[in-house]
Amino acid sequence: MPPLAANGITLQVELAGDPEGSPLLLLHGLGAQLIDWPEGFVAALVERGFLVIRCDNRDVGRSTWFDDAGPPDPLGVLTGEATAPYLLADMADDAAGVLDGLNLERADVVGVSMGGMIAQCLAIRHPRRVRSLVSIMSTTGDPSVGRPHPGVAELLLTPPAADRAEAVEQSVAAWRATASTGFPLDEAAVRERAGRAFDRGYHPDGTGRQLVAVLASGDRTAELRGLDVPTLVVHGEADPLVDVSGGRATAAAIPGARLRVIPGMGHDLPDAVIVEVVEEIARHAGGHAGRSPATSTGSPA
């Protein structure tokens, strides 16, 4: 479908499933495009009756890029010498804008990694838009939890690739360092998806600015404690990029949240856990299912 106008920018959106199905919004992580969702994951959600909504976050893929803001400066943001061109709150408003553009009042919302942070912000800022929340391999913004394991954080600061081949190799190296230890890595699939992502919209400066947004957005713990939304937190016990303490802290902060820790799972959704994770999502959202009525006005905050 053509890009949607949302929150003053354009966002590339794709739908899968029955248009009359229960809407489920997927929000992906740092630098990830909508094609980075495993096809088996999307297909399994569709089989369970969801209308699956995927989008490129701002500054990646085919959504609006923020190159006028200049190169990202993560260190400057951390030292207070630079400001972030946008925050996770702005990306949450983008997500609300997607629902507006699709004429949907509410949706079940699933976010992974940075997408989990955006989903949390969406529930904080626009609680009536979120029927249920699923935060996967994410954290609260509290710097004392969810920290990368030694040697892994440097992957986020890798210099941009000079060409397609190097970009693919960088992606494979990142997956090797962060993927599940308890399940096999399908390296051929990683290479194929990395190549498609490069061809579709390789944009390392956008990824850097998204990282700046994460760093500048601060701790959400106090706001999460005020949420009143059915919440499922899923985290891999072997996640080296966002330590499982981030998931535990998220579940502890949100009243009534249910935590599912998966042994052997890292910072990915390997084929071997897709059925389990989808069943968890379907069971969680099932108690709140049913298509949202259309909206005729702007986002109800």
Kindly give, in sequence order, each residue whose CB lies less than 8 Å from that of residue 249, ignoring residues fewer than 6 positions away: 139, 140, 142, 145, 146, 221
CA-to-CA distance for 56 and 63, rounded, in angstroms?
A: 6
Considering the candidates 28, 126, 203, 267, report the single residue annotated as catalytic: 267
CA-to-CA distance for 31 and 157, rounded, in angstroms?
A: 12
Tokens matching residue 205: 């400066």
Helix (H) or strand (E) holding 236: strand 231-236
Q: Which of 102, 84, 74 is nearest to 16 (CA)?
A: 102
Q: How far does CA 283 lie from the centroid of its chain?
A: 20
Q: What are phi and psi of 229, to 5 degrees?
A: -140, 135
Tell me if residue 267 is catalytic: yes
Tell me if residue 113 is catalytic: yes
Q: How far does CA 32 lie from the centroid of its chain?
A: 8
Residues in the chain: 301
Helix (H) or strand (E) holding 264: none
Tokens matching residue 234: 């899923």
Considering the candidates 22, 63, 113, 135, report the single residue annotated as catalytic: 113
Coil, strand, or helix at residue 51?
A: strand
Considering the candidates 90, 108, 239, 268, report the single residue annotated as catalytic: 239
Tell me if residue 239 is catalytic: yes
Helix (H) or strand (E) holding 299: none
CA-to-CA distance for 148 and 271, rounded, in angstroms?
A: 23
List residues with catalytic annotation: 113, 239, 267
